[in-house]
């Protein structure tokens, strides 16, 4: 059960509400976000919710029995929009492309990518400075110094940054140099990290775990929301299956299912989703038709020389064709409505 409180609720009204919930054996959690104050009640007893809904200081009440609640569409019917400022908006009919290399490698590489994005009117650049690598001997990113250059070049060009945060300890130092924190597939259930990202004032894009279910992804998002941050996006990036003909199995089904279950924007990552450069475009377009609000894609001037994920990275020319097809596909999808 979700109870939204009036901003003006008094201590004694809150006390009465908590007492009432205790008498019906409901455990309560208070959640305060940048947009509202809520009491999450967890219990089994049937009761008439009007007996709480009519109490003073209560704005709204809803029964949501799923394990995730505040991220559920059963609670918030209207889709969430993520506004990054300067006219860069994700969700509610605002389609975005986030493009860039798997890893930030050098100042020259950032400059070349920024020029490519500006030319193609792309407002969000991706690129990792902290890289989760299967082998400890692989390139693991330029760290905070690389991020500072990344930020300097992007902000001068009006481009927003999405980059991965791997540890709680990195959150603060990254804060002033990013626009979206990315939580990678390997950290999708790092609950301490999710708790901490709930306390920041920047949006978070949460990737689905390598073998994570949709339900687990939504509960992971609930961790962030219930710690105070409502600005969350979910990303389908492929799951591990028994198939070995490609890197991951992009779960196209997850996109309409997520759009149905949650009000949060849904992003598709075709690069990690299939892991094969020449097929990135077709699965990206499929993701858009399936309902994705944005696409995040790996692009590099010379993918053959990329420090990571070159095999799934598009060159500039392939990327330009993709952007055009993505935009046309999005228009086509919207025309079906």
SS (H, E, C) the chain: CEEEECCCCCHHHHHHHHHHHHHCCCEEEEEECCCCEEEEEECCCCCCCHHHHCCCCEEEEECCCCCCCCCECCCCCCCCCEECCCCCEEECCECEEEEECCECCCHHHHHHHHHHHHHCCCCEEECECCCCCCCCCCCCCCHHHHHHHHHHHHHHCCCEEEEECCCHHHHHHHHHHCCEEEECHHHCCCHHHHHHHCCCCCCEEEECCCCCCHHHHHHHHHHHHHCCCCCEEEEECCECCCCCCCCCECCCCHHHHHHHHECCCEEECHHHHHCCHHHHHHHHHHHHHCCCCEEEEEECCCHHHCCCCHHHCECHHHHHHHHHHHHHHHHHHHHCC
Partner that binds at residue 9, options Mn ion, ligand PEP, none, CB closer than 5 to 8 Å by kind: none
143 binds, among Mn ion, ligand PEP, none (CB under 5 to 8 A by kind): none
Q: Please identify which residue in 184, 265, 270, 287 interacts with ligand PEP, judged by CB under 6 A.
A: 184
102 part of the interface to ligand PEP, by CB under 6 A? yes
Q: Which does 185 bind (CB under 5 to 8 A by kind): ligand PEP, Mn ion, none?
A: ligand PEP
- Rule CB under 6 A: is residue 207 a binding residue for ligand PEP? yes
Nearest to ligand PEP of 185, 217 (CB atom) = 185
The footprint of ligand PEP on residues 42-71 (CB under 6 A) is none
Chosen residue from 128, 203, 265, 287 binding ligand PEP by CB under 6 A:
128
Which residue, 17 or 147, is less far from Mn ion as judged by CB?
147
Q: Is position 310 an interface residue for ligand PEP (rule: CB under 6 A)?
A: no
Number of residues that bind ligand PEP (CB under 6 A): 9
Q: Which is nearer to ligand PEP, 272 or 277 (CB)?
A: 272
Q: Among ligand PEP, Mn ion, none, what binds residue 237 when CB lies within 5 to 8 Å by partner kind?
A: ligand PEP
Quick one: 32 or 211, whose CB is closer to Mn ion?
211
For binding to ligand PEP (CB under 6 A), which residues are involved? Answer: 102, 128, 132, 184-186, 207, 237, 272
For binding to Mn ion (CB under 5 A), which residues are involved? Answer: 102, 309
């Amino acid at each position: 059960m979700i109870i939204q409180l009036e901003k003006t609720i008094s201590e004694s009204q809150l006390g009465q509400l908590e007492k009432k919930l205790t008498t019906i054996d409901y455990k309560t959690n208070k959640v305060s976000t940048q947009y509202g104050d809520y009491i999450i009640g967890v219990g089994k007893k049937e009761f008439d919710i009007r007996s709480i809904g009519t109490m003073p200081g209560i704005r709204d009440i809803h029964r949501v029995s799923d394990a995730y609640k505040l991220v559920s569409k059963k609670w918030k019917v209207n889709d969430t929009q993520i506004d990054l400022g300067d006219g860069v908006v994700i969700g509610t009919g605002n389609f975005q492309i986030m493009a860039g290399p798997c890893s930030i490698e050098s100042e020259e590489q950032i400059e070349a990518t920024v020029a490519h994005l500006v030319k193609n009117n792309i407002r969000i650049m991706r690129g990792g400075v902290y890289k989760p690598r299967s082998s400890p001997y692989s390139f693991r990113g330029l760290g905070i110094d690389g991020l500072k250059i990344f930020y300097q070049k992007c902000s001068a060009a009006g481009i927003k940054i999405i980059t991965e945060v791997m540890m709680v300890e990195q959150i603060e130092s990254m804060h002033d140099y990013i626009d979206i924190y990315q939580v990678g597939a390997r950290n999708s259930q790092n609950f301490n990290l999710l708790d901490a990202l709930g306390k920041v004032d920047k949006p978070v894009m949460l990737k689905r775990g390598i073998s994570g279910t949709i339900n687990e992804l939504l509960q992971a998002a609930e961790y962030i929301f219930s710690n105070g941050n409502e600005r969350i996006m979910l990303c389908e990036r492929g799951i591990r299956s028994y198939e070995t003909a490609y890197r991951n199995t992009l779960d196209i089904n997850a996109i309409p299912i997520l759009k149905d279950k949650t009000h949060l924007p849904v992003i598709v990552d075709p690069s990690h989703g299939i892991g094969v450069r020449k097929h990135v475009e077709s699965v990206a377009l499929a993701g858009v038709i399936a309902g994705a609000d944005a696409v995040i894609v790996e692009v590099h001037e010379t993918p053959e020389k990329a420090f990571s994920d070159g095999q799934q990275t598009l060159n500039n020319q392939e990327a330009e064709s993709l952007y055009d097809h993505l935009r046309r596909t999005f228009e086509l999808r919207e025309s079906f409505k």
